[in-house]
Chains A and B, each alone.
Chain A
Amino acid sequence: MRTATGPEGGAVVKNLLGVVAALGGLAITLGAQVTVPVEGVGSGAHVSPDRLGKLGTDWTPVASAEVADGPTPRLHDGKPDLSGPWVGGGSNSDIERDGGLQPGELPLLPWARDLRDRREEANEPYLYCTPMGVPRKNPYPWRIVQAYTAKGPSYIFFLHENGDAGAHRQVFMDGRPHPRNPIPTWFGHSIGHWDGDALVIDTVGYNDKFWFDSMGTPHTEQLHTIERYSRPNYGTLNLEFTLEDPGALSRPVQLNFSARALPPDQDLMEFVCSENNQFGIAGGHTNIYLEKGFGLEVEVPAQK
C-alpha cells in the first residue's frame, strides 16, 4: 500500500487518487509549479512548491538515494530488468521543456504551433479516459514488463496505473517488421530490440488524437518515434527520444527524459478512469469530443 502523503492512512490515499487522478494532467498544471527537475522527481512529473526537498511527486513516492544508487538489476538472460515501477520519464505539461529543449527550440511547423497555442488544457483527450499516447507520462506509476517464452524475449508491455483507461502498450520483440500500412492507433505499432544494454523501440502507425502534453502540442499520423531506454542504476531510467513528424515538425528532434524508480515494495494500484470521473464524463463538463470525436481539429497543410 502506497504511503499517504497526507496525515491520514492508506485508504484516504486510494480515495484521493480516485478523485485527484481523474483531474490528472489538469490538476498538476494549475497553480504554482516547479519547472526545474528536483531530486527524486525526474522530468515530466512536476511537484508543487511545498514538496520541494521531499522525494517523489505529489502522489507517488520514489526510492531513497541509497536504494536508487544501487546496481542495475538484471533478468535471467543478463538483460537489464526495466520493470520499475517508475514515475515520470516523459512529457507532461510541456514536451519542449520536459524534453530538455529551450523555449522555441521544438521545430513545430506554423500550423502546429498555432494549434498548440489555441488548444485548452481542459480539452486534453486523456481527461476523457483515452490513452496518453507516447511519450506522455502523468505523475503516477507505470511499469515495463518484459515477457519471455521458452524461445526468448517475445513482447514488452508498458502498463500504466492510470490516465489511460487501463490501457497497455505492446512492443513486439520477435524481429517482425512494421506492417506496410498500419491502422492508426493511440499507441501505434511498436517493434523493439536490444542494443547492448539499451532497449530501442521504433514506432509508427500513430493516430493524431492524443496530445503530447496538457498544453496541446499536436502531431500527425506521420509521427515516427524512436525510444532508447537505459537504466544506469537502480533508481534511474533514461530515455533518449527521437521525434520525427514531417507533418508537424520541420525536422526530427531529440528529446531527453528521465524516470525515477519507486521504492522496491510499491506496486501499481487499480485505477478505473471511467468510474466517477469528475472531470468531463460524470461531472457534466462539456465533452467537446462527444459530437466530433477525437483527432486533429484542423486540416494539415500540404507539405512541399
Chain B
Amino acid sequence: MRRLLVAMTTLLTLPALAQAQEVPFRAGGTTPLADMASLPTPRMDDGSVDLWGTWVGGGPVNDIAAGLPKGEELPMLPWAKALRDKRTNPEDPHNFCLPMGVPRQAGAFPWRFVPYPTHKAATHLFILWEGFRNYRQVFMDGRPHSEDPTPTWFGESIGWWEGDTLVIDSIGFNDKFWWDRAGTPHTEQLHIVERWTRVNFATLNLEVTIDDPGAFSRPFTLRFTAKHSAPGDELKEYICEENNQFGLAGGHPNPYRASPTQ
C-alpha cells in the first residue's frame, strides 16, 4: 500500500492509488474516481473557486516539451540544448533530495493548494507536495516582487485571481533545479507565469508561460493537467533523506558534494 521509495531513478508518473474500491468521500458520499469529472467546480461561500483537493500531475516529468502544442519545439538557445544533451539522469539534483522547482514539482506525486486565511481573503497560498515534503509559498496580499530577490529553488511568487483563474507570477529562481529528467536547463533570468483553472471537480488545468532570455530565444507556453486523486487519498509522509538508496545512503557518487549545484 505505501509507496516506498526504493530508487530515485524509477519515479512513477502516477502514484499507485491507495485503495481500489469506492471509499466514503469526505464531501459526504461515495464517489467513484471516474464520476468526479462530471461534478461542477466547487466554490466557497463567497463564490470564489475552491482549489482544495488532492491533485496529481500538472507538470513535466520526463520532458518539459510534453507541455507544448503538437509540432512545437522548445526554443532553446544553442548552449542550453548542448547542456541538456550532455546531462545524464543520475545527475538529476532531485536524486539527492534537492527540490524539483517550478513547474516540475507538481509532476509526480500528490500535492495540495492551501490558502491562508480563507480563499477570498488569502494573504498567503501554500503549495504542499507529498514528494520531498517541500512546500512553496505564494504571497497573495498584493505585494509587488522585490527589487533583487536572492535566488531560490522555488523563486519568489506573488499571486492573484483573475475571475476563476489563479495567476502566480514568479521570479528569483536559482539555476540549480532541472525541469525534467532530460535535464532541460534555465537561468536566473527565469520568469514564470502560471494560470490555474479548475474546470470541474476533478480537473485542474495549468497554462504556464516561461520567459528566460538566458536560455530560450523567446517566451513559450506549456499546458499541463492535474487530476484529482482517488477519494480518501491523502498526502503521505515522504522523507527523501531517509534511506535514499540512490546517492546519499547508497554511496553513489554525488556530483554536488564538493561544489554548489551547477
**Smallest CB separation, B93 vs chain A (Å):** 9
Closest chain A residue, CB of each to CB of B53 = A149
CA distance A183 to B234 in the complex (A): 14
Check if A123 is an interface residue, CB within 8 A of chain B: no
Contact B52 A129 (CB under 8 A): no
Contacts of B50 in A (CB 8 A): 149-150
Contact B137 A166 (CB under 8 A): no
Q: Among residues 145 to 173 in chain A, which have CB atoms less than 8 Å away from a CB atom of chain B?
A: 145-151, 154-155, 157, 159, 164-168, 170, 172
Contact B237 A157 (CB under 8 A): no
Interface string of A124-142 (1 = CB under 8 A from B): 0000111100000000000
State whether A150 and B241 are in contact (beta carbons under 8 Å apart), knowing that A76-B118, A81-B117, A275-B98 are contacts in the complex. no
Contact A147 B52 (CB under 8 A): yes
Interface string of A197-210 (1 = CB under 8 A from B): 00000000000010
> Could you say which of B118, B119, B150, B239 contacts A186, with CB atoms under 8 Å apart?
B239
Check if A83 is an interface residue, CB within 8 A of chain B: yes
Contact A76 B117 (CB under 8 A): yes
Closest chain B residue, CB of each to CB of A154 = B52
**Smallest CB separation, B27 vs chain A (Å):** 7
Q: Among residues 68 to 114 in chain A, which have CB atoms less than 8 Å away from a CB atom of chain B?
A: 75-76, 81, 83
Can you list 6 contacts pairing A with B, beta carbon distance less than 8 Å?
A130-B239, A146-B117, A147-B114, A149-B44, A149-B52, A150-B45
Contact A159 B239 (CB under 8 A): no
Closest chain A residue, CB of each to CB of B51 = A149
Which of A11, A130, A185, A281 has the largest number of chain B CB atoms within 10 A?
A: A281
Listed in ascending order, the chain A residues whose CB lies under 8 Å from chain B are 1, 10-11, 14, 75-76, 81, 83, 128-131, 145-151, 154-155, 157, 159, 164-168, 170, 172, 174, 183, 185-187, 209, 267-268, 270, 272-276, 281-282, 289-290, 293-294
State whether A145 and B126 are in contact (beta carbons under 8 Å apart), knowing that A81-B117, A272-B98, A272-B99 are contacts in the complex. yes
Check if B86 is an interface residue, CB within 8 A of chain A: no
Question: What are the 7 A-B residue pairs with the smallest beta carbon separation, nearest first?
Answer: A167-B133, A129-B241, A185-B237, A274-B97, A270-B152, A166-B134, A149-B52
Contacts of A167 in B (CB 8 A): 133, 237, 239
Contacts of A149 in B (CB 8 A): 42, 44, 50, 52
Check if B206 is an interface residue, CB within 8 A of chain A: no
Interface size on B, residues (CB 8 A): 50
Closest chain B residue, CB of each to CB of A74 = B117
**Smallest CB separation, A161 vs chain B (Å):** 10
**Smallest CB separation, B194 vs chain A (Å):** 18
Check if B116 is an interface residue, CB within 8 A of chain A: yes
State whether A274 and B42 are in contact (beta carbons under 8 Å apart), knowing that A131-B239, A166-B135, A267-B137 are contacts in the complex. no
Contacts of B45 in A (CB 8 A): 150
Listed in ascending order, the chain B residues whose CB lies under 8 Å from chain A are 2, 26-27, 42-45, 50, 52, 96-99, 114-119, 121, 124, 126, 128, 132-135, 137, 139, 146, 150, 152-154, 176, 234-235, 237, 239-243, 248-249, 251, 256-257, 260-261
Give the number of A-B contacts (CB < 8 Å). 113
**Smallest CB separation, B80 vs chain A (Å):** 23
Contacts of B2 in A (CB 8 A): 183
**Smallest CB separation, A208 vs chain B (Å):** 13
> Could you say which of B119, B133, B260, B261 contacts A165, with CB atoms under 8 Å apart?
B133
Contact A146 B257 (CB under 8 A): no
CA distance A282 to B44 in the complex (A): 46
Contact A170 B235 (CB under 8 A): yes
Contact A145 B133 (CB under 8 A): no
Contact A159 B126 (CB under 8 A): yes
Closest chain A residue, CB of each to CB of B238 = A167
Contacts of B249 in A (CB 8 A): 289-290, 293
CA distance A95 to B121 in the complex (A): 38
Closest chain A residue, CB of each to CB of B136 = A270
Closest chain A residue, CB of each to CB of B119 = A148
**Smallest CB separation, A125 vs chain B (Å):** 9
Closest chain A residue, CB of each to CB of B235 = A170
- Known pairs A146-B117, A157-B126; list 11 more (Cβ under 8 Å): A10-B150, A75-B117, A148-B119, A149-B50, A150-B42, A165-B239, A166-B132, A275-B261, A290-B248, A293-B243, A293-B249
